[in-house]
Amino acid sequence: MKILKGLLAILLLNATLTHAQYTTPIAGGVDVGASLGRDSWAPSIMYHEEIGSQKLPWLRFGIGFRVWGLYGGRANLYTERIAGIKDYLEYRDVSVNGLSFLAGVNVSFWKLDMGVNTDLLGLTYGSKRHGYYEKTVPTNGTGMPNYNQWLASKPTVFNALPLALRRNTGQSEAFVRFKVSRQIGVKLGYTYTRLTYTTKKSDDFNVYLDNSQRHVSKIYGLPYVALAFALGN
């Protein structure tokens, strides 16, 4: 995932610096598919538009929107490690739905498009879930009143750069899109979905885990398949 982060940062920066050179027509499309795992899945619909340079017609930068969801079974979501302590909440199941604005880059040759994209900003919502705060070795930290209890929590609502910022929720993907015909293709890839829950207040007071933490997070890495529909060139 570090390679994906670095590639996105370099190529998106280059896109900004060379934007004035982009004069080729805009190409767009819609991808409809899902990521599948052993006990989780993440359906999505993505609308995207790309534009390239006359000097480098095989390199294209794009933006788009993604409507998506993640639904999973039993999972442990972890806090950020601070002072050697990394707590977790255990959930019977998890779920979240989202709408995201994304940016990406892809390389095209023959009938193939290979690329990466990541959410920049997004809104997510989901049902309240209770996570069990198991603490077999008490540390007398800020979470002590909540040791070995079920704590109410909900997915984060407003999100930015979830690939880099762990207190946010969103998706990123690496993919290969094969053009079966001029208008239809098949897309295969791998998605990284970060799911973050925040403990809900109780009696108007924040509910903390140790080290005054309220966010727990997990990244789901799942293979992805979709149908790709071209909308124009």
List b or e across 93-106, with b for residues whose CB sees 16 or more CB atoms inside 10 angstroms: ebbbbbebebbbbb
Spatial distance between the Cα atoms of 219 and 229, rounded to a whole number of angstroms: 28
Res. 153: pLDDT tops 60: yes
What residue ranges do the domains of the chain occupy?
2-232
- Nearest CA among 89, 72, 9, 6 for reference residue 222: 72
The per-residue pLDDT for range 177-231, each reduced to its tens digit, is: 999 998 999 999 999 999 999 999 998 899 999 999 999 999 999 999 999 999 8
pLDDT digits (tens, 9 = 90+) for 44-68: 999 999 998 878 888 999 999 999 9
The per-residue pLDDT for 25 is: 67
**pLDDT beyond 80 at 17:** no
Local confidence band at 119 (pLDDT 50, 70, 90 cut-offs)? very high
For the purposes of burial, counting CB atoms within 10 Å of the CB of 133, is it exposed (0-12), middle (13-18) or buried (19 or more)?
buried
* pLDDT above 70: percentage of residues in the chain: 88
The pairing of strands 170-179 and 129-133 is: unpaired
Tell me the whole-structure pTM to 2 decimals. 0.85
The more confident residue out of 139 and 60 is: 60
Would you state the pLDDT for residue 182? 87
